[in-house]
Amino acid sequence: MAEDRSPSPRADVCIVGAGPAGAIVAARLSEAGHDAVVLDAGPRFDLDDRTEQLDAHVRPGVDGGVSETPRGDAADGLWGMGGERDEYTSSGPAGYPLNAARVKGVGGSTLHWQGMVMRLHERDFELRSRHGVGADWPLDYADLQPYYAEAERELGVAGADDNPFAPPREEPFPLPAFPPSHSDAIFAEACESLGLPTHSVPNARNSEPYDDASACVGYGTCKPVCPSGAKYTAERHVARAEAAGARVVDRAPVQRLEHDDSGDRIEAAVYATPDGEEHRQEARAVVLACGGVENVRLLLLSASDAHPDGLANASGLVGRYFMDHCFAGVGGRIDRPTRQNHVGFNTTECHALYDGTDPLPGVKLEFLNYAGPSPVIEALHADDWGDSLLESLRDSYGTHLAVGGLVEQFPRAENRITLDRSTTDDHGNPVPDVRWSVGPETRAAIERANEVQRAVLEELGAEIDWVVGPDETGPAYHHMGTTRMGTDPAESVVAPDCRAHDCDNLWIAGSSVFPTGGAMNPTLTIAALSCRLADHLDGWL
Amino acid sequence: MDLSRRDALAALAATGVAGVAGAATLDDADGAPAESPDGSAVDGLDTLVAVAETVYPSAATGVDAFVETYVDGLPDDRRDDVLAVAADLDATARDWHDAPLPDLDRSTRDGLLRDLGVDVADPDPNGYLSERIRFHLVNELLYAFYASPTGGRLVGIENPIAYPGGTESYRRASMDAEGRDG
């Protein structure tokens, strides 16, 4: 029987996007007794397909492993991204691989994420005041601190209070940290010599059973798929929301938001369904939670006589200040076993470079547990077998080390998401254009990160094999800044409570509201803001 | 390095195959043994073992029981595909060398696979013969081997990617620091 995708009666809240930002809001509001309808552009993926998706990831020639791909043969990859539905252009000086950077579907990009969940540091909220660059947030760390604690419980974060650079904590992590790896111990020697304290990594991954999900069993394929369910995905909050009465409609891409005659209030989200029909979901409140690119596109697609430049865009800033984190890394080999590729996540980091001024952009160093090739994957791509294959695998595996890292981008107005009206998606809507570049201060910070990374490996006597520097860097797939939060409607898109300055009943969730992004993976902050937004909306509704 | 049925079960865990204990045996996978195009019975298992002995390191022993258990545990459709391509390869061996594949020595089997271009073929479940052999036979068997703890150990990793080997091994300084698992 075909799923009923017809609209519900006027809901308390319509949430666009079933990733972590939207799913957390949906779960908490539903549990507070509000009627919530969640619309997601992508499909609902079957948990029973995860092992087949692992198979498809590891074994060349195996199809995606998803039972119901959203658009038949146009879909590709493990999560069905690509094709006409997901068309985009990238006009900036640095190309942006948008469809590798996101997943459309119930769970959103947590379906393929790494699962690293650090709090922003205090300096991240006051970059303009402290250093005269970027922007200040209209709230500070203390404002968000209780919500960070809630977010850690929501995601089941495994961590330890051992980071001398982290902002203050109020309670232990919900789960114990994953202990350091063998290679972490190797790095610790060198880092100690260089005066770089190392510490654990907070992971949204179960170090022991939590929230009815398994502990990690070590498949080693966290990114792009965790078959055990130990890695948090927003499907957990979707399940909670539905258990509390929310309705979640998949394959229902919202085409535009429609407002009342005054232009001040959103009346409905107009969405399409696979049968070619369009429907109107009316709601008292609307929450946009479809990521830093699609949030922008939907606001711009909702232009009207009252809002000729797009909804919530009186400032002209919708889409501007697009930020990501830039990768910097150095890898090489040493003369002893490094024991890589047992697990697909990291267990040690260093925030020593984060809060200072050399460099000014934040830099977070990551000590990888998956440097170098995996023997099984290499074997399946080799053009040899037998003893000679074994010999080559032994030669290529076992002694690799790598230090990666994320480097901050300051907000730059010219980095932006716009509509490319020359290209349309499967519903005839203009597609997003991503204009992304790496500024001089970030390039310099990447070079500084490389210096430190190289020093660590040289301290270990490593032979350096590769360096990802400013010319080779790429994005970490964290889409931030495009509907920035602020107090001045001329300088921001949403108010400190995440409500659009220009619409009385439109809120935005997710990292698009970040005025700056630091160099910490953004999902914990996304979750904290969603907890905060749910509290606010509970009162408003 | 002795492979065991237990290693095969570990490899099946890596493939995500559930319900291994209830899997059919090789001979009754589809109700009857696979047949070659000329109608003679093909011992599919022998053909698979012959391929495995070619693509596995020479140090591997116990290959026949390992392969039998692994193939028995595959889902029916996947096992059927493996057996069908094994029959095609065996037919090619008979055509080119006037003998079934298992009767050829290891060097000749190796040469046959390379002459077919299997070593450089892109694995494709529905492609040309060489691509299907690469996907359904060579890569299936290499996956079983190197995604298992025993095969991985030969390279230096007892918890290879795709094998759910827990969260202890990544902390150890060496494989010798723990007892054998898997």
Kindly provide the ipTM of the predicted complex, given to two decimals. Answer: 0.93
Query: Cβ of A339 and B170 within 8 Å?
Result: yes
The partner residue sitting opposite A386, judged by closest CB among B110, B135, B174, is B110
CB A103 within 8 A of CB A41: no
B31 has pLDDT over 50: no
CB A184 within 8 A of CB A198: yes
A379 has pLDDT over 70: yes
Share of chain A above pLDDT 90, in %: 94
Query: Cβ of B56 and A216 within 8 Å?
Result: no
DSSP 3-state of B26: helix
A14 has pLDDT over 50: yes
Q: Which B residues, 46 through 75, put their C-beta within 8 Å of a C-beta on chain A?
A: 54-59
> In the prediction, which pLDDT does A297 show?
98
Contacts of B147 in chain A (CB under 8 A): 58, 376
Query: Cβ of B123 and A60 within 8 Å?
Result: yes
Mean pLDDT of A379-390: 97
User: If you average pLDDT over every residue of chain B, what do you get?
Assistant: 84
Residue B107 Cα, gap to closest chain A Cα (Å):
11
Tell me the C-alpha to C-alpha distance, in Å, between residue A430 and each of A2, A220, A274, A408, B91: 29, 39, 19, 30, 55
Contacts of B126 in chain A (CB under 8 A): none
Query: Cβ of B160 and A375 within 8 Å?
Result: yes
Segment A72-83, tens digit of pLDDT: 333 357 999 999
Segment A139-194, tens digit of pLDDT: 999 999 999 999 999 999 999 999 999 999 999 999 999 999 999 999 999 999 99
Q: Which of B53, B108, B155, B175 is the best mutation test for A, with the most CBs of A within 10 A?
A: B155
Residue B39 Cα, gap to closest chain A Cα (Å):
30
Chain B interface includes A224 (CB < 8 A): no
Residue A399 Cα, gap to closest chain B Cα (Å):
10
B13 has pLDDT over 90: no
Chain A interface includes B126 (CB < 8 A): no
Q: How far from chain centre, in Å, is Cα B119? A: 15
Query: Cβ of B152 and A375 within 8 Å?
Result: yes
Query: Cβ of B164 and A221 within 8 Å?
Result: no
Chain B interface includes A334 (CB < 8 A): no
β-strand A348-350 against A363-367: which pairing, if any? antiparallel
> In the prediction, which pLDDT does B30 show?
38
> In the prediction, which pLDDT does B5 show?
81
Mean pLDDT of A375-401: 97
Query: Cβ of B143 and A380 within 8 Å?
Result: yes
Mean pLDDT of A390-403: 97
Which phi and psi (to 5°) does residue A463 adopt? Answer: -90, 115
Residue B165 Cα, gap to closest chain A Cα (Å):
5
Query: What predicted TM-score, i.e. pTM, was given to this entire model?
Result: 0.94
Query: Cβ of A221 and B124 within 8 Å?
Result: no
Query: In b/e form, how buried is each residue of A288-326, taking b as 16+ CB within 10 angstroms?
Result: bbbbbbbbbbbbbbbeeeebeebbbbbbebbbbbbbbbb
Query: Cβ of B124 and A384 within 8 Å?
Result: no
B39 has pLDDT over 50: no
Instruction: Please give the residue of chain A at the shortest CA–CA distance from B169.
Output: A342
Q: Specify the residue for token string 């509390």.
A: A244
User: If you average pLDDT over every residue of chain A, what do you get?
Assistant: 95
A537 has pLDDT over 80: yes
Query: Cβ of B156 and A387 within 8 Å?
Result: no
Chain A interface includes B107 (CB < 8 A): no
Q: Which two tokens stand for residue B164?
A: 């759910």
Contacts of A341 in chain B (CB under 8 A): 157, 160-161
> In the prediction, which pLDDT does B8 show?
85
The partner residue sitting opposite A385, judged by closest CB among B55, B152, B155, is B55
Distance CA A158, CA A173 (A): 6
Query: Cβ of B171 and A182 within 8 Å?
Result: yes
Quickly state the pLDDT bin for A66 (edges 50, 70, 90): low
Distance CA A521, CA A333 (A): 27
Instruction: Please give the residue of chain A at the shortest CA–CA distance from B133.
Output: A61
> In the prediction, which pLDDT does A211 show?
85
Chain B interface includes A51 (CB < 8 A): yes
Quickly state the pLDDT bin for B19 (edges 50, 70, 90): very low
Query: Cβ of B167 and A387 within 8 Å?
Result: no
A71 has pLDDT over 60: no
Q: Specify the residue for token string 């922003």.
A: A120
Segment B152-162, tens digit of pLDDT: 999 999 999 99
The partner residue sitting opposite B162, judged by closest CB among A58, A337, A384, is A58
Q: Which of A512, A8, A12 is nearest to A291 (CA)?
A: A512
> In the prediction, which pLDDT does B140 show?
96
Query: Cβ of A380 and B159 within 8 Å?
Result: no
Mean pLDDT of B50-62: 95
Peptide bond into A359 cis (omega under 30): yes
DSSP 3-state of A238: helix
Contacts of B156 in chain A (CB under 8 A): 337, 375, 394, 397-398
Tell me the C-alpha to C-alpha distance, in Å, between residue A275 and each of A5, A6, A268, A357, A536: 10, 11, 20, 56, 36
Q: Which B residues, 132 through 151, put their C-beta within 8 Å of a C-beta on chain A?
A: 134-135, 138-139, 142-143, 145-147
> In the prediction, which pLDDT does B12 show?
82
> In the prediction, which pLDDT does A70 show?
41
Query: Cβ of B139 and A207 within 8 Å?
Result: no
B145 has pLDDT over 90: yes
Contacts of A261 (CB under 8 A, 6+ apart): none
